[in-house]
Amino acid sequence: MKISVRTIPYQYRHAPVPGGGFVTGFVFHPKSRQILYARTDIGGVYRYQFAEKHWISLMDHVKAPDRWESYPLSIALDPRRPERLYIAAGDLERNYLCRSDDKGAHFQYFPLPAAVHGNHAGRATGERLIVDPVCSDILYFASQSEGLLISEDAGETWRSLPVGQHQGQAEPDLSFIWIHPDSAVHGRSQIIVVSTAGAANANEQGQRGPSLFWSVDGGAVFRVMPGQPQPPSDFGNYPGFVGQRCSFDGTYLYVTLAAVGHSWAGWSGYACDMGGRQRGCVMRYRFAEDGTIADVRFITPDLSFLTGETEVIESHAGFGGIAADPARPGHLICSTQCFDPDDVIFYSDDSGLSWRPVLHDLSIGRMDFTGVPYMKPQYNGGHNLIHWLSDLKIDPFDRDRAVFNTGTGIFMTENLTAADRGDEVVWRPSCQGLEETVHLNVYSPPAGPVQLLDIIGDLGGFAFTNLNQPAENSFADAEGNRYITCLNADFTDDCPRYVAVTARGNWKGKTTGGLIWSEDYGQAWTRLPDPSSLSPRIDQLITAIRQPNTNSGWTALSADHQTLVWCVGEGNRLPADAVVVSDDLGKTWRQSRLYGEYGQILSDCGLTCKVFADRVEPERFYAFGNDSSLYVSDDRARSFRRIHCDLAFPRLELGGMDGNMPAEIRLEAGQCGVVWIAAAEGGLWRLTLNARTRQAVFERRSAEGDIIYRQGMGCPLPGRFCQTLYVNGFIQGIYGFYRSADEGVSWERINDERQMFGDIRSICGDPRQAGRFYLATGSRGVLWGQPLVPDDPYGGSAER
């Protein structure tokens, strides 16, 4: 019997972490004022609201199970139709062209005959989609797997245009496309430039073939563009230059190229998203009226002011962003990428014949980080946090406005022409509304000044005391050096001032990964000592964790905050033979032991083990492992005994972390041994565990067929006594966010079709504010939702 599910209107807001992720490119409309879009690698596409200086997400309708739309690879605008927007997006299996006629408010979807993924290697290069400037129905897609594709019906059907076959073989992996806007013949453009990875035409020495090709007959034949640099010798495992981006000022086409050092992505490892060392150059082409190339010249900026080098045809830095001012031919900016020490933005007013730096670290130009505390230099080793600077653009209608991307958001200037006078150009974060961080876990303490503990990828974590303002940098050492990518936190319900967190050390080694400890609700941190000499296996894992950007594991804190458990990590696994326990904040450690149901020691290193503390009894801990194995401890985690798992309970890997968490496990506050598990297709379960009798009662709390991905608990609704359950998943076949005030007997939907927010990593209810809950997303930051109308203690909530 189905129970009707009513909808409760909810409002959702961000606990702001402005920026925070890789913005992969920008597109201004060339003919209409104040139209600007940004694409991100995991957070979809945004449109800029100029008056409000605010970014609007176009992807909040994306559902977690169908989130391919969150991975845009390219954007195209129709010069003749300002409302028209195209996006190529996909997850390699589901690949679509998204077409909108209202600036992204609504979309139509058409399959693409090529694998697409906006969070894979090569995403940092220029636009792969482009509309023929003289024919709105003609659309080109420079794909990464099927070469150049053309559509003559605005993206509904496609056919191939081989690039490179006259050189040898057609190139399948392309990095950008450009069309000469003044080359129309019989209603379609003729001059087309395409950049390739050079994989199909690599030579016998394994060096990439030529990257740049051009056509003068609308794509019927492509030829190699002259003057391209030769592959650098002894540099990288796939040596050779690949075009990154281009820009045209009416006279010259400017092209940046880069050669990447050693790459794990094979021939597709040609962009700054691979990190590592690069070499690069900037070229300038001029076309004759018949489409032939009349002039080619290297115009690579001189980096000798930093490096002392004098050769500028090929620089010991990659070059990525390039933007010409269409209103002032000859004026342009370009940027290095993956350059150490720190990337540089250059400015030229003579078509690239000479350059001067307008931004470098904190010494040239000015960076104003007001409003985004984590970006401040004191939290980044005293340096500018810019990295992966691969795109920049000049507003075609405002010569003072320019924008550039980074791996942590967007920066904008409104005084670019100060460079003409030799004055300082000022850059500020332009991240309001842009929420692209990946949040791995979320917690709401029951008391104290901190309302939300946010466990986050890359940036580590934040302790929010005000949900409407960015938190100051909080997961950092005493010098302000940030820990990155924390995996989980634990605190006691009776005294949540004590918090333990597993953290990675940052990229530059300023902090070291491991277990960090706070005694002020997560606002200041101390790194605890590591275990040593407990076993060669644990020593090996600890050595690895001390390296930058390495997962440290999972932690649990006893109900009286006297015992710490650390499940030492290995990649995204938690090995069962690497669980350690301390009763003195890490001064001494002992190794925990796992036993089978019949008391035998379990020594199989293939087992996994994720530990949780009972919320009431300090001696009790529970562990979950592969194949839904369950363990209990009543001796402060010194030993665990396996207990029988109900055959009806789904078999899952419960001993993983980071991206290896198919289920969300939460222990109920104020209850001894009550565990809730969201088991995806297996539904929602409540387990009542008894450590002394080693017995468990399993209850499925969702209906057969319901799918529950994530879940958390908050304080009871007015007039109710049970903790409120919050979940995301499919209830009666409809995906959404739901809440239950009666432990899953009945549900209320608490979102609408425009409140989906993509990938959902964790859910937590608020223990202090009835009706409020938190969403940790992998697409759209961390959000909190609460009813539009307060809950009525006598009659529930207002219905929609």
Residue reference for tokens 């060096």? 207
Delimiting residues of CATH 2.130.10.10 domain(s) in the chain = 126-429
Q: What is the pLDDT of residues 473-516, one digit of tens each?
A: 889 999 999 999 999 999 999 999 999 999 999 988 899 999 99
CATH homologous superfamily, domain 126-429: YVTN repeat-like/Quinoprotein amine dehydrogenase (2.130.10.10)
pLDDT band, very low/low/confident/very high, at 1 (cuts 50, 70, 90)? very low
Greatest CA span in the chain, whole angstroms?
Answer: 87
Residue 425 has a pLDDT of 98
Over residues 383-405, the pLDDT tens digits come to: 888 999 999 999 999 999 999 99
The pLDDT of residue 220? 96
Q: Does the pLDDT value for residue 789 go beyond 80?
A: yes
Q: What is the pTM of this model?
A: 0.96
pLDDT per position as a tens digit, 591-618: 999 999 988 999 777 899 999 999 999 9
Contact 98, 47 (CB under 8 A): no
Beta strands at 332-337 and 392-394: parallel, antiparallel or unpaired = unpaired
Residue 341: asked if its preceding bond is cis (omega within 30°), the reply is yes
Q: Where are the alpha helices (DSSP H) in 437-518?
A: none
pLDDT tens digits for range 299-311: 999 988 776 554 4
- Which stretches of 303-348 are DSSP H helices? 304-307
Give me the phi and psi of 755, to 5 degrees please: -125, 70
Q: Is the pLDDT of residue 4 over 80?
A: no
55 Cβ contact partners less than 8 Å away, ≥ 6 residues apart: 38, 46, 47, 48, 49, 410, 430, 431, 432, 433, 434
Taking residues 673-681, what's their average pLDDT?
A: 97
* pLDDT tens readout for residues 296-350: 999 999 988 776 554 444 567 899 999 999 999 999 999 999 887 789 999 999 9
pLDDT of residue 309: 54
Query: Which residue, among 475, 495, 492, has the nearest Cα to 483 in the 3D structure?
Result: 475
What is the average pLDDT score of the chain? Answer: 95
pLDDT of residue 798 exceeding 70: no
Long-range contacts of 295-303 (CB under 8 A, 24+ apart): 296/225, 296/226, 296/227, 297/227, 298/227, 298/229, 299/254, 299/348, 299/351, 299/352, 299/353, 301/334, 301/336, 301/344, 301/346, 301/355, 301/357, 302/355, 303/336, 303/339, 303/344
